[in-house]
Amino acid sequence: MRKKVIAGNWKMNNDLSESQNLITKLTSGLSNLKLNCDVIICPPYTSLSEANSLIKNTIVKLGAQNVYHEDNGAFTGEVSPQMLKSVGCEYVIIGHSERRTIFKESNETINKKVKKALEHSLKVIFCIGETLEEREKNITNDVVKKQVTEGLEGIDEKEMSNIIVAYEPVWAIGTGKVATPQQAQDVHKFIRQLIENKYSSSVADDLTIQYGGSVKPDNAEELLSQPDIDGALVGGACLKAESFIGIIKAA
């Protein structure tokens, strides 16, 4: 059975001392709970090293929100997989819709990042999802299929064990509009089928597919009880320890 994975994407929030406070509250709030899921936090780059120290000997794992697809060199402002590993990251989010829209990352760029991250043994949270316009045009499945096909091009069956897919309908991110459990389940099932067609039923069965988009403590349980929803990628609600813990408890 797939273990659920709850990840918090802090985005561009929390300076060093705010990060320390949030992690301290989170780890102490989780310390006496018996959890049924893995927990990952993805703070900004500037807090990763400190976060790594603060989560030592806890169940919380560390991820970054982005990575560059080169090992080193003249790429001002970018950060390599090795750098992320050196500050304790086990995971990296790649292809978040904000990277796709604001920073114009293409499926091709995202694919390069996925390959480079896997080459350096980082586990990838690979984000996909349609815009409102695409959903209204009834092309959600086509969009998701293209993102999966191009974003995971050249990734082999073995490497898939280090990939988590996060389905995040763009219209539900940071908007308070959550996909209904059935809408999310339908797309998750479609993604699992795509993976089965591309690889095998065992790769598809083992794949963790998170839902992301306005997940909160009060809607998490219903979403997470869907058969193909294996966790959540959480934005806004992970910035308060109580609400992130509420979602973790629902898993």
Site for ligand PEP in 133-172 (CB under 6 A): 168
Minimum distance of ligand PEP from residue 235's CB (angstroms): 2
CB of 32 to ligand PEP, least distance (A): 26
**What backbone torsions phi and psi does residue 250 show, to the nearest 5 degrees?**
-75, -15
Which one of 71, 174, 200, 206 is in contact with ligand PEP (CB under 6 A)?
174
How far is the C-alpha of 54 from the C-alpha of 22, rounded, in Å?
10
Q: Name the one range near ligand PEP by CB under 6 A: 21-29, 47-55, 149-157, 207-215.
A: 207-215
Instruction: Give the position of tokens 């936090």.
Output: 41
100 token code pair: 């796709």
User: Least distance in Å: CB of 204 to ligand PEP?
Assistant: 23
Determine how β-strand 60-64 pairs with β-strand 91-94: parallel
Say which of 69, 96, 130, 134 is annotated catalytic.
Answer: 96
Phi-psi region of 73 (alpha: psi -120 to 50; beta: other; left: phi over 0): left
Q: How many residues bind ligand PEP (CB under 6 A)?
A: 13
Residues β-bridged to residue 61: 40
Please confirm, yes or no, whether 70 is among the known catalytic residues: no
Packing angle, helices 16-30 and 45-54, rounded to 10: 40
The reply on whether position 23 binds ligand PEP by CB under 6 A is no
Among this protein's residues, is 120 annotated catalytic? no
Instruction: Tell me the three state secondary structure of residue 106.
Output: coil
Kindly state the DSSP code that residue 161 receives in the 8-state scheme: G
What the block records as the tokens of 101 is: 């829209």
The answer to the question of residue 130 lying near ligand PEP (CB under 6 A) is: no
Closest separation in Å from C-beta 215 to ligand PEP: 5
Q: Which is nearer to ligand PEP, 187 or 237 (CB)?
A: 237
Interaction site with ligand PEP (CB under 6 A): 9, 168, 173-174, 212-215, 233-237
By annotation, the residues acting in catalysis are 96, 168
